[in-house]
Structure 1
């Protein structure tokens, strides 16, 4: 019940701009969420907050405490990064192309359409109106594309679609002065940057980059002589400043303003940047054939520019000499973000079309980070037996293996030639995969290679996969011939072909307790097969609608299957009787597609569960399908415990329950009408057809927008987390570690003070039992460490069995997070000796806790083994070295 969103895998980047905060934290938008990657620790987390649509722009404060996230609907969230909490919200009235915090952190510049708005940055204080609009500049003739602040936070550069760049001054004066114009570009200005003098740290030059691959260098030079009326307002040759020698501070010059009025220009105005003369001294071109400049960034300390192009090439250029330091292609698609870190030694390159992020150390020419998500929807996920790894397979023919704790993909298997439809882990570090290319492949997770391939005499399309408990027999169900193929894992030979189904076999699962194979098909049946005896189908469970999937309870005494009418049927596989049925059509209903002619409440098509998964103890079941909801049911009482809404992203179809009639036109919904002027390469293209080549019965095809759905659900063997393969990626939900206790087991004598008093009196057994009754983590750990190693057997024998599960969970946590390894392992050993029989009899109830302990032990064993091997080799080297003479 207490699961919360933890992370998003399978999609590290989906468009927008990326940022590097505090020199090592990479922040990137992932749909309507924000992902933070620690480049030092190699860990990634996804913030729990969601925007209403896909994020378009993000900006971080100079101290790294606040994040501004703006989506496609111009709705902005002001987020506290350390606490991962949304502090404030605001909606802008115009599309936002860029936003940046000032270097002093006091202001936020927002490019809202043609307007340049300056907002006061909110802080930690509570305010009724946290965002205060300070000033608005309306000088641009077209949309603003890029912004840059001067180091002193007094000036702003703004590049625009009107082929110009403008220099604005934030200081208010008695008379309004027009911004200085940088003219000469022949295409949209995509980047503007201030350059400073390394000695004085004052602004002395400006760089402007246009989309056609041109970079102009502008230098500030103070004018001599009197002010005169410029030939044309805003040209680079205009004189807007004076630096006469001798007595210039005593005189006040008069000149005629552009509006025809006379105004005074004092000494302070004379040295304002937007009133000085800026000269174009150099024009350089990147010369990338027909490629356009898509992203750029500038590092003031190194005086270096990084530029990404639409052909996937990015280059580093030393300014102002325009020397190309590096130029290489790391992607075949348009680069949508390029940014330096604070030190300038790393460059972050992002490609939204491929979902790829690359952190490149340009001095050593090595990759610090290289992560790429699945290009198409994820079809299947699978947990490893120790819950440390998660494998994903998708329509892009690739298999990726992720580390759950860090959120990083460490291996990619691209050998399949068609969509991957099913995955299954074997007990000994082996992964099985089934694909529409007609092969079932076995992957070695030690050597990262495909060591065995299972095929059929004629090409088939496999959509389901299963293996027995020993891993000796492999079974796969087909989409086209309606058969089940059985292979030997040891020899790779085809042992048997099970025939009898009259529709695609979309569900296969072996019983956890015996060799019985259960299969579900669209022919409205669930069949049980005796694979080893060769007797064929031994039992058939008929249904009134197509059966979409089937799963076994962990104890093997119950079978659950979902049908097209939205029901979940529970069978007794031993007696062959229907135990009960859950009607889940109303529970999963929700979300109206753009093409639906009926409301979500009245629609009856496609409301069914396509994937099921039992919990580790079998007490509840998770169900997902063609909906934005994932339902959790209590199996014994057949009641809905909780509904998880997997997304609030309105950029996906099927999220809104009620559509806005204002968006309906004669040609159909406004969101489905293609705009010829839109740039489809800015992000992932609209997915139009599922690569599987078929749709579930009753479901509607995709007409231009990604439809939110859940294709696969898997619960970790530890029971502490579960994964859902959705349209947005793989969502990881984990158990909340908050303070929970059972009030029925408490009385007035169970208090933290009583526990501390028992510890002081050396009553360690009583203190431990009291802390387990109170069920507070800190007290339980304190009491565990308060037991002497000699007294561990006596204290372990005095603990009642009903508290064993909680004690094992605490020991599993300590084994992963503390340094007293021998002490904790001795606790585990004594518990197994004393309560071994009771644990064996109640293994189903204690299964999640025991799996967590096994996971911690396995990880510890691997870490110690690597350390010992390293020390062994080092000692051998030292011993073999000749002694110094």
Structure 2
């Protein structure tokens, strides 16, 4: 039962900004979670911490230690990235559009509405109030859209929707008054979406600045040093930096001549080296037009070391420009939808792009013009899942008509099949591990070759049908698919692709099909309140029918084939003996699966009958427990033998989804309906589209969601890995991966007063490896078990393997599987595995049901090592041929 959240697949990016930390770690928000992708190791993980709603802004500290996330409800999490834990929390009073750490990491700049706030970075200190507000700038007349720090962390360049950019100085005088009034950079005719400081390479001091407007106009600004004499000679009495006059300490307006005021500032306050930007003025050097009208600029970033600017447009095109001469290096299109985020890495050789509407995340090496990362999630809901027999691959099918295959260990999608023309409803992996079947509402069942990545066979029917279920027999020779419209089951030959039979008898949609693991009996469930058993090979039709009082939603076999479970519309799970045809027992699960209240519900969640049933079931690898999910935020785990609820997994805390809250706040109810569903957003059209896109992405078909597109939380499919070490859930949030993590739990197998870590160390000291290993297995300490395994001499492995009691075989096999994947002593661990199978062959056969998950884990580890060695040998072979041929020529 010790399953913990491990990763989120199916949606690598949904909106917000991305950042690159330590030059190789790409950090991106995914709903209310944060995904971290190692671009060197090609591995992605998802942080276990969750926000209360979708994350809109993230920022990472310069050293890569801390991560700041802000969600749509203005709630902020301060996270330690290495430990993956939340250190501090705070709520801002205004919507946050930008958040950035200062270059020295001591400050955080927050653009909250029209305000720019400077906060002290909390760090590792234990404080009651970790966030301290140091400064607030309220000089803007519109929403602040962009921020950039100077290298010395003393200045901020801020752009706003009021068509201006301002240079803010953070220092204060002794009297508490401002040393420097914000300098205005004027001239833009649209919102400023990007503002950046440029520095001189030799002095590392700011001498230029760039501002980019939404209409595609780039301004280049230059800094000119000023002196007191220059200020005195200035013509006119107007201040050199346009803006409203300041007030003095008594509150009176300061209407002095700008030159005199500047002289007083220089004489009194701004005479240190840090305030050099206060002793000069800014001039507009040049104005450049990006030439993509009528498209708008939606994202941009600047790299100071390379003096290079990258700009993304609303039509999916991006441009890379060398400054200050504005030379276009690249102008390419990466999609047809707008680019929502773009960022350089620290070295400037990689560019990361994000497209929220497509769920696309790209990392591009612009010098070699090659992709480092190219991932795209499902556009709509994931409907079905399938594990490969070795648990290494996971296939997903969704409403966007696509089938994707993911590597579970890395979290990467390596192939996408898009030949279906309608939603994919069912998937099935063949026993060969190289063939995948998919069924769709377009009336076809397709077979995919995972070695050549192509559709090699398509199964169709004489007239158009909509398939919603799929299965294949153990040999892979017979394919069966159930329909939604005509209530039939079609049977094809895998070898010839010919339609063999059409099974009729159901009076409702056939939503689940499964062959018995031990014989050739096909089981189907339908909304006609029956579960039917069919003899497909002998042509006898339905051999038995199990009637129910309510519609049957799904059916699943236990791995040993001696029990089947089905869920009905009244919230019950029925367990049948398929051999005797008897109902064994029933679990009442309506109260357990009961979800939260929807925004449009007129009844409380306790009185509502909607969603109180299971739509997907899945047995564990050993058949001891069963997982169940439905239109709810919970996944229930039941013990099959005792029919009790063992645990409930809450799949999300995201309040941006509907059905998460149990009780609605009556203060939010109005005559027009719930306040959250009233669209009173006064932002411009593009921002409104952005918000709608971020909500709709990945959640159901267009028009199928209530009101403003708030998706309803639910679990559409559950699958447990054949190894039994993990399970996946296709939810509204994406595909959630849960795995067993034994480092967080102490679970001894056979404990008494003499079984201690000291006893294990004593046995090792007395050169008794067999006794030490048995004690460590009884204690069930992973580190001690591995230590005892390595303490055995290679020649003593057969004797020690024979001395292990059979009840500890499962734990020992799991430890060996983990060692094969993570330790370099491959031959030693393989010798252990071989001798253990020789010594306990009969016991393994007798305990096959309990040992099956552990044995599949061992098989998976050996398969991975075999593939790695094969690839290494192949590359070495070609390298040796090349070296030999080059040596012969010389």
Confirm whether residue 265 of structure 1 aligns to residue 261 of structure 2. Answer: no
Deviation at 1:674, TM superposition (A): 3.3
Instruction: Report which stretch shifted further, 121-130 or 655-664.
Output: 655-664
1:76 counterpart residue number:
76
Deviation at 1:234, TM superposition (A): 6.4
2:408 counterpart residue number:
404
Q: Distance in 1 between matches of 2:698 and 2:465?
A: 21
Question: Cα deviations across residues 237-273 of structure 1 (Å, max 9, x unaligned)?
Answer: 9999xxxxxxxxxxxxx96469999955317626542
1:244 counterpart residue number:
none
TM-score normalised by length of structure 2: 0.94
Alignment of structure 1 residues 592-603 onto 2, 5 Å: 592-603=597-608
Any conservation in 1 of the 2:146–2:160 contact (CA below 8 Å)? Answer: yes
TM-score normalised by length of structure 1: 0.95
* Secondary structure, aligned partner of 2:429: strand
Q: Distance in 1 between matches of 2:263 and 2:863?
A: 82
2:211 counterpart residue number:
208
The alpha-carbon distance between structure 1 residues 121 and 648, as it changes in their structure 2 partners (threshold 3 A), is same
1:332 counterpart residue number:
336
Question: Cα deviations across residues 149-179 of structure 1 (Å, max 9, x unaligned)?
Answer: 1000011111111110111111102443421
Q: Distance in 2 between matches of 1:396 and 1:752?
A: 54
Confirm whether residue 534 of structure 1 aligns to residue 535 of structure 2. Answer: no
Any conservation in 2 of the 1:588–1:631 contact (CA below 8 Å)? Answer: yes
Q: Distance in 2 between matches of 1:712 and 1:837?
A: 37
Instruction: Report which stretch shifted further, 220-229 or 302-311.
Output: 220-229
* Secondary structure, aligned partner of 1:745: coil
* Secondary structure, aligned partner of 2:230: coil
Any conservation in 2 of the 1:109–1:119 contact (CA below 8 Å)? Answer: yes
Instruction: Report which stretch shifted further, 791-800 or 273-282.
Output: 273-282
Deviation at 1:203, TM superposition (A): 0.4
1:349 counterpart residue number:
353
Q: Distance in 1 between matches of 2:566 and 2:802?
A: 43
Any conservation in 1 of the 2:446–2:459 contact (CA below 8 Å)? Answer: yes
The alpha-carbon distance between structure 1 residues 690 and 750, as it changes in their structure 2 partners (threshold 3 A), is closer
Confirm whether residue 183 of structure 1 aligns to residue 186 of structure 2. Answer: yes
Any conservation in 2 of the 1:239–1:276 contact (CA below 8 Å)? Answer: no
Any conservation in 1 of the 2:587–2:643 contact (CA below 8 Å)? Answer: yes
* Secondary structure, aligned partner of 1:826: helix
Q: How many residues align?
A: 868
Instruction: Report which stretch shifted further, 871-880 or 722-731.
Output: 871-880
Deviation at 1:231, TM superposition (A): 5.3
Q: Distance in 1 between matches of 2:260 and 2:444?
A: 77
Q: Distance in 2 between matches of 1:140 and 1:418?
A: 50
Confirm whether residue 870 of structure 1 aligns to residue 875 of structure 2. Answer: yes
Deviation at 1:281, TM superposition (A): 1.1
Deviation at 1:115, TM superposition (A): 1.1
Deviation at 1:768, TM superposition (A): 1.0
Q: Distance in 2 between matches of 1:414 and 1:760?
A: 61
The alpha-carbon distance between structure 1 residues 322 and 601, as it changes in their structure 2 partners (threshold 3 A), is same
Any conservation in 2 of the 1:191–1:209 contact (CA below 8 Å)? Answer: yes
* Secondary structure, aligned partner of 1:784: helix
Structure 2 residue corresponding to 1:724, chosen from 729, 733, 736: 729
1:416 counterpart residue number:
420
2:51 counterpart residue number:
51
Q: Distance in 1 between matches of 2:303 and 2:709?
A: 40
Backbone CA RMSD of aligned residues: 2.3
Confirm whether residue 12 of structure 1 aligns to residue 24 of structure 2. Answer: no
Alignment of structure 1 residues 492-571 onto 2, 5 Å: 492-571=497-576
Question: Cα deviations across residues 379-426 of structure 1 (Å, max 9, x unaligned)?
Answer: 011110000000100000111111100000011111111110001100
Any conservation in 2 of the 1:436–1:463 contact (CA below 8 Å)? Answer: yes
Q: Distance in 2 between matches of 1:467 and 1:553?
A: 16
2:95 counterpart residue number:
95
1:810 counterpart residue number:
815
Any conservation in 2 of the 1:419–1:691 contact (CA below 8 Å)? Answer: no
1:842 counterpart residue number:
847
Question: Cα deviations across residues 843-875 of structure 1 (Å, max 9, x unaligned)?
Answer: 111111111001001111111112222233334
Instruction: Report which stretch shifted further, 804-813 or 658-667.
Output: 658-667
Q: Distance in 1 between matches of 2:88 and 2:368?
A: 42
The alpha-carbon distance between structure 1 residues 47 and 773, as it changes in their structure 2 partners (threshold 3 A), is same
* Secondary structure, aligned partner of 2:743: coil
Confirm whether residue 314 of structure 1 aligns to residue 322 of structure 2. Answer: no
Question: Cα deviations across residues 712-739 of structure 1 (Å, max 9, x unaligned)?
Answer: 0000000000000011110000001226
Any conservation in 1 of the 2:381–2:700 contact (CA below 8 Å)? Answer: no
1:606 counterpart residue number:
611
Alignment of structure 1 residues 291-306 onto 2, 5 Å: 291-306=295-310
Instruction: Report which stretch shifted further, 172-181 or 58-67.
Output: 172-181
Question: Cα deviations across residues 49-68 of structure 1 (Å, max 9, x unaligned)?
Answer: 00011011001111000000
* Secondary structure, aligned partner of 1:867: helix
Q: Distance in 1 between matches of 2:826 and 2:524?
A: 45
Deviation at 1:662, TM superposition (A): 2.4
Any conservation in 2 of the 1:230–1:238 contact (CA below 8 Å)? Answer: no
Q: Distance in 2 between matches of 1:690 and 1:847?
A: 36
Deviation at 1:837, TM superposition (A): 1.0
2:690 counterpart residue number:
682
The alpha-carbon distance between structure 1 residues 744 and 103, as it changes in their structure 2 partners (threshold 3 A), is closer
Deviation at 1:529, TM superposition (A): 0.4
Deviation at 1:621, TM superposition (A): 0.4
Q: Distance in 2 between matches of 1:812 and 1:350?
A: 38
* Secondary structure, aligned partner of 2:63: coil
Instruction: Report which stretch shifted further, 380-389 or 867-876.
Output: 867-876
Any conservation in 1 of the 2:699–2:732 contact (CA below 8 Å)? Answer: no
1:245 counterpart residue number:
none
Any conservation in 1 of the 2:748–2:780 contact (CA below 8 Å)? Answer: no
The alpha-carbon distance between structure 1 residues 628 and 239, as it changes in their structure 2 partners (threshold 3 A), is closer
The alpha-carbon distance between structure 1 residues 691 and 427, as it changes in their structure 2 partners (threshold 3 A), is same
The alpha-carbon distance between structure 1 residues 605 and 234, as it changes in their structure 2 partners (threshold 3 A), is farther
Alignment of structure 1 residues 607-626 onto 2, 5 Å: 607-626=612-631
The alpha-carbon distance between structure 1 residues 355 and 259, as it changes in their structure 2 partners (threshold 3 A), is farther
Confirm whether residue 795 of structure 1 aligns to residue 795 of structure 2. Answer: no
Alignment of structure 1 residues 328-477 onto 2, 5 Å: 328-428=332-432, 429-477=434-482
The alpha-carbon distance between structure 1 residues 754 and 261, as it changes in their structure 2 partners (threshold 3 A), is closer
Q: Distance in 2 between matches of 1:725 and 1:21?
A: 30
In structure 1, list runs of 5 or more residues that go unmatched: 241-253
